[in-house]
Structure 1
């Protein structure tokens, strides 16, 4: 005899009605094989006494089970589990108790994609260079969002829309990119994505579906490397110096291999922050024309340049339709505002849009339309100027802290733009030990392994400054100083 009292647990404080909790519990018992197909269930009076519920509650649960076909009643005999259900053998931990840890089926696990996520919001964190979400223009976003949803004639935007993205944002972006980056394009050249990573994924999948070689820097943005690898690309690495990717190395590889793509963060190389020089930009475009490869230009922080006007993107000088330009507003506003864009030849953008449908039917149309209004009315540009001024001040302060407290342990150059410093630790010291000491002092630093995935031994990491105010920067550097002193003495 099954002891329903021990197997059915009712939470009277839960939002789920009690009769549905009982209903769900009985279904779980049937699914797990505890109650067999065709088995007789206790009468409503008997079960109500066993589990301490009102009989009407049990009747309501039985009625629901009967309506769904789980049980049936035979006059003068009782209530039974449907004999049409397949017999299930009891497994594992019992009814609803087993944690679903290991799948009972086979699947392909891409171990190389696994990376730890160490950022803990409750702790002081030196990130790798993200905006300060505390200054995000939330009021402006909400104002535009509310103005759209509050008008009844905009209800159509709550339905399915274009998988290319909201038309108004694509049109506004075409003008915005022309004015700010010198990129000549129309809305047909633009696909709205959920951040730049989606653009990188779609482009990689289309270009490397049948494999082929992709060139990246010896130091490279790890997410891009993993995305290209997962798409089927074989990575070839070239040197990175103070002028960015070495295009002579790229040319040498093109003479030996059929190159399908070159990935470049031209404005501020990720992770080292160096800018691709004008000479190398022109050389890279010429190589693309000569050898027929695509340039994947990830311009993740174009808007943050402190010393002079930024160099225009490669896409602004591309007359042979070889550059796929990838950007996002995430770095301007906040990482959670997942709106990005990909700019390229019309046929490529159409192919990417249709591929996008297989993983994400469309983005947030209302948010995209709100961002279009922010750009049209200058809200985004005003916020960008405000953030640029603030981050410039924070860069100066962070630079002074590094010089005053850490110069005996690290070497670094002052970045012309962006939101992070690239710092190189002395060769006889270890980032892992330093990170452990920092964590003991309630602070998280970036994972050094993300910057040296192929074990070159450069011993460098990115230290972001933009998301920390002066007080937080000082506290963070002093913790780092203490950790580095401890490591240097071991």
Structure 2
């Protein structure tokens, strides 16, 4: 976020006024739109409120903004002189359309992290920089030529990467496939988006886990899908619940994250896996298996994916580099029947003509390199260490105020807050004290659950972060409403 330069010869208020005028002229604040309050803008910019008051006075003097008691400060509808000049009502456009915005809690978390880089981050579901294979990838890029061709690539994905994934999936996930049955995507979310847009229709009923990462993705509602929940216990979902949902609602697809499920960390029981595939076969139901966390198994023995024991091809399998290497590579994949891959690749070509070939080449080289296995071993070791630090801190700071099941892989710890607490109050108190997390209601659970992600925070931040959370919880309990 822009901030005024205190070393500049120009006064702070004039810098702020100039920046606001520029943003107004660019359409960031359309005519008639509400500007931040003086107090809020002063906090964001790190200046005294009186400085913002001066800046607003400067803009009012030029007719660019106008203030009314009780209505705040707005951009003037006639800001460029006496003659009315109408700009588009961008707020109305932004609030329209079929694609819904993120949930309010997620937008608040993103805003808080953007404004305060010092927050201890238990919210971001990605690896910290020191857990990613940065040195290894730099070495690979210095050893190989990546810029021989920079045109559009095959919309299904870079062929050598798909070939590398055939070997990877066979060796590490027990999945037999061919390069023609693999689609490269920018990650699991793009895979899910393509499925919801191309394989389903508005009004279709689908089953998702409860709680579930899928619940936090408005893309399902944007596609007009009806969501029905499958409760998750310590053994995952119950296959009989799928049969019941099919009878009641004629669900057309099941979305599941069976290995170190996000957010609970649960692993689908081996017997339930077989029953789930039997139910899918009986009903002709496709299963979408999202499997981002398996290779983080702390004992080094990842649970087998459903796809590896799928005898008739009921499962669409989704994977990604985001949770085992680096989210910034933007590399994911889907294993599906070739007819489905062709359909989704055609849609992808309409969207972006395919991914950049450079990260695909990097990913292909990394999968085939001698760096891959040592990186996974180091990743598991560090995640286990951070998990144990988090558990130790929870026991120390919160005693009997929380309950949880210790995850055996993944990046998250799903935590039940024993006393009654308001999610919004707890989140705001935590942010105020310098720590952030994801409230459980984001994933469809009732109030009083939290997801702590321990892959992003530094090891030396975990103890202090839980101490800050504990203080926030105590305050939220005192002032529930």
The C-alpha deviation readout for 1:282-333, integer Å capped at 9, x for no partner, is 1111111111111010112111112462220001011211111111001112
SS at match of 2:148: helix
Check 1:340–1:224 CA distance in 2 against 1; reply closer, same or farther (3 A cut). Answer: farther
1:182-197 maps to which residues of 2 (within 5 A)?
Answer: 182-197=174-189
Give the match's secondary structure for 2:312: coil
Q: Secondary structure at the match of 1:214?
A: strand
Q: Name the structure 1 match of 2:454.
A: 465
* Range that drifts further, 233-242 or 294-303: 233-242
Query: For the Cα contact (< 8 Å) 1:260–1:293, is it kept in 2?
Result: yes
Unaligned 5+ segments in structure 2 are 1-21, 26-76
Q: Which residue of 1 aligns with 2:270?
A: 278
Total equivalences in the alignment: 396
Change beyond 3 A, Cα 1:105–1:436: closer
Q: 2:322 aligns with which of 324, 330, 350?
A: 330
- Aligned CA distance change for structure 1 residues 109 and 451 (closer, same or farther; 3 Å): same
CA distance in 2, matches of 1:207, 1:265: 19
Sort the Cα spacing of 1:420 and 1:114 in 2 relative to 1 into closer, same or farther, 3 A.
closer
* Residue pair 1:129, 1:462 contacting (<8 A) in 2 also: no
Aligned-residue CA RMSD (Å): 2.7
CA distance in 2, matches of 1:351, 1:241: 35
TM-score of the two chains, using structure 1 as the length reference? 0.75
Q: Which residue matches 2:38? A: none
The 8 Å contact of residues 324 and 343 in structure 1, kept in 2 or not, is answered as yes
Looking at structure 1, the residues matched to 297 and 217 of structure 2 have their Cα atoms a distance apart, in angstroms, of 25
Partner deviation per Cα, 1:412-471 (whole Å, 9 max, x = no partner): 11011111110011242223222222222222222444123xxx5252121011222331
- Note closer, same or farther for the CA distance 1:328–1:99 as it changes in structure 2 (3 Å cut): farther
2:122 is the counterpart of 1:126: yes
Larger CA Rg, structure 1 vs 2: 1
What's the counterpart of residue 102 of structure 1?
A: 90
Q: After superposition, where does 1:41-190 map in structure 2 within 5 Å?
A: 92-94=78-80, 102=90, 107-108=96-97, 110-111=99-100, 113-115=102-104, 116-119=107-110, 120=113, 121-127=117-123, 129-149=125-145, 155-156=148-149, 158-190=150-182
Shift of 1:110: 4.2
Match status 1:437 vs 2:433:
no
Contact 1:266 1:276 in 2 (8 A): yes
Task: For 1:249 and 1:409, locate their aligned partners in 2 and report how far apart those are by CA, in whole Å.
Answer: 32
Q: 2:208 aligns with which of 207, 216, 239?
A: 216
Q: TM-score, structure 2 length as denominator? A: 0.76
C-alpha spacing 1:189/1:483, structure 2 compared with 1 (3 Å): same
Report the alpha carbon displacement of residue 112 of structure 1 after superposing the two structures with TM.
6.0
